Amino acid sequence: MTKKSGINPRGFDTFICFLFVVLLSTSSLQADGFGMKLAKDRSIPGKNQIGKCATYADALFAKMNAAGVVAYRVSFDWSKLTGLSGEQGAHAVVVFKDSRGRYYGVDNMTWKPIWLKGNNSQEWSTFIAGMDTSAHVRKTVASKAASFNGRAYAARK
């Protein structure tokens, strides 16, 4: 191989790979912080409005998806297992992942994101629905950032 410029091709490739890794990890950290910031934003349509969980989840998920945050829009049906009331309903939430791999959930009525136990949509919906309540996931939509590792997520569903 002849050298046409003063740049060593091997060194240049190594530098480009290093730069790519640094930029990728930096954008992931920024998305993490931005995900928490978006989740606390009270100006998103449907926030603090009873019965507007789907409106809120759609709007917040769209913002997180555009920002590159690893996020999921989860809709589920729930029903109370105790008492004679027979209460049941449906709910929609947004779940996002931080840089440490922890999942947080937020809905139209929470004032800040809550740490969620579990690592898939069924476990998240069961945790959110609460004790003495049955939850069944209706649909989960993954953001583009979450879809990058979509095969691993689909296997946990």
Q: Which residues lie closer than 8 Å to 37 by C-beta, 6 or more apart?
A: none
Quick one: pLDDT at residue 153? 43
pLDDT in single tens digits along all 157 residues of the chain: 444 555 555 554 544 434 343 333 333 344 457 788 999 999 999 999 999 999 999 999 999 999 999 999 999 999 988 766 778 899 999 999 988 889 999 999 998 899 998 889 999 999 998 878 899 999 999 998 887 654 444 444 4
Classify 121 as helix, strand or coil: helix
Taking the CA atoms of the chain, what radius of gyration do you get in angstroms?
20
Quick one: pLDDT at residue 26? 38
- Give the C-alpha separation, 72 to 142, whole Å: 5
Cβ–Cβ contacts within 10 Å for residue 12, how many?
A: 11
- Give the C-alpha separation, 135 to 4, whole Å: 65
| DSSP 8-state assignment for residue 99 | T
- Give the C-alpha separation, 65 to 49, whole Å: 23
**Contact, 124 vs 74, CB < 8 A?**
yes
